[in-house]
Amino acid sequence: MSKPLRLGLAGLGTVGTGLVKIVQEHADVLAARAGRMIEIAAVCARDPSKNRGVDLSGYDWVDAPLELARREDVDVVVEMIGGSEGAARDLVTAALEAGKHVVTANKALLAHHGYELALLAERHGVGLCYEAAVAGGIPIIKSLREGFAGNRIDGVYGILNGTCNYMLTAMRETGRDFDVILKEAQDLGYAEVDPTFDIDGIDAAHKLCLLSALAFGTQPDFDSLEITGIRGITATDIKFAGEFGYRIKLLGIARRIDGQVMQVMEPCMVPEDSALGGVEDAYNAVYVDGDSVETALLTGKGAGAGPTASAVMSDIMDLARGTVLPVFGIPADKLAPPCWMSLNDVVGGYYLRLDVLDQPGVLADVSAILRDERISIESMVQHGRNPGQPVSIVMILHDTAHAAIVGACQKMESLPAVLAKPCFIPIEEL
């Protein structure tokens, strides 16, 4: 059996601790599968005295993460610090420059700096692996880079944030509104004290950025990604969606269209009887459209200590077997600058909700604006009458350009009888 593969762990939160448990509890199985022992040589965390529920006494502790990159007894640096800058970026850069493999769960780091880090890794002949950065226990990185390598990928899309999916599920099941469900999600540990990255779609957008680069052979370009989170979704929208046979999901969508790539993260309506419509709670799901495989769907737990640590270990196992692949599927210097399609040119159906005063002439004014923007109505609902008081009018619109619905909503917002910013949600007939 070959000499052991020795790990240096930076960060001992839930995922880091989960990885330690896997190494300790499955040592013999891992060795049999990898052809060599996998050992932890050194660890680094902010509080060495904290009880993490695992025995860490047999490992060397270092005071600063960068020490892991300098140690001769570390073959693989496992970065679980998080964040796109600071200690995480410094450690990954130093480790690659020192000729050490890196395994990371840090989607933000790679979304912002993945191209330069991929060039650095390949220049030094080492691996930069990140299965755990996207969709937790779903092996979507390996699937895109290896399993679907014989395909021209034309689309990758799905549910990429378990917190948002849990909240949207809970809003639908209970009828309660966003702020109430967010507080519950925080109390249950599904949402952070500062939930911005989750509910504003940033976390999921980091993941979509990496999937898009892998799928289309382009340089990661997070800054060009259109992002809308779920803050604006109300229990009213979810109720009306159900009446029309839809469920609301935060979807990441990247599609190749006429040589360009459309890339967006936003709430969408999907048919309630579709595969994505049935993905509930904290689960994730990713569709891949390929010319040979046609459509494949991968689902599973998108976060948590066990699934994410399992994904980290899958990368470590590849390295233990001597498998080092290009970071984004093809050599980094062959990654093309992305050619993005403007969201304004995207055509599709829409849900539109207007909160208005129930008075004569409102529908005529709204209809005139839709006519001027060349938008037609498929169906419309208004529950009850409430003369002179607020009511909600909901419409399902036929396919129209994104720019047209945006322009129409801007004009409607200026109508005296319209009480709030109109809410429009794309419809994805998956």
Q: What are phi and psi of 250, to 5 degrees?
A: -80, 115
Residue carrying structure tokens 């909600």 = 392
How far apart, in whole angstroms, are the C-alpha atoms of residue 272 and residue 429? Answer: 10
Element (H, E) at 204: helix 202-216
> Which amino acid is present at 26?
H
C-alpha angle 202/324/123, rounded to 5°? 80
DSSP-derived 3-state class of residue 404: helix
How far apart, in whole angstroms, are the C-alpha atoms of residue 134 and residue 329? Answer: 15
Q: Maximum CA pair distance of the chain?
A: 83
> Which amino acid is present at 225?
L
Closest to 129 measured CA to CA, from 331, 286, 312? 312
Closest to 417 measured CA to CA, from 351, 361, 370? 361
Exactly one of 107, 207, 249, 301 is catalytic; name it: 207
CB distance 271 to 396 below 8 Å: no
How far apart, in whole angstroms, are the C-alpha atoms of residue 264 and residue 261? Answer: 10
Other Cβ atoms less than 10 A from the Cβ of 281: the count is 14
**Is 207 annotated in the active site?**
yes
By annotation, the residues acting in catalysis are: 207
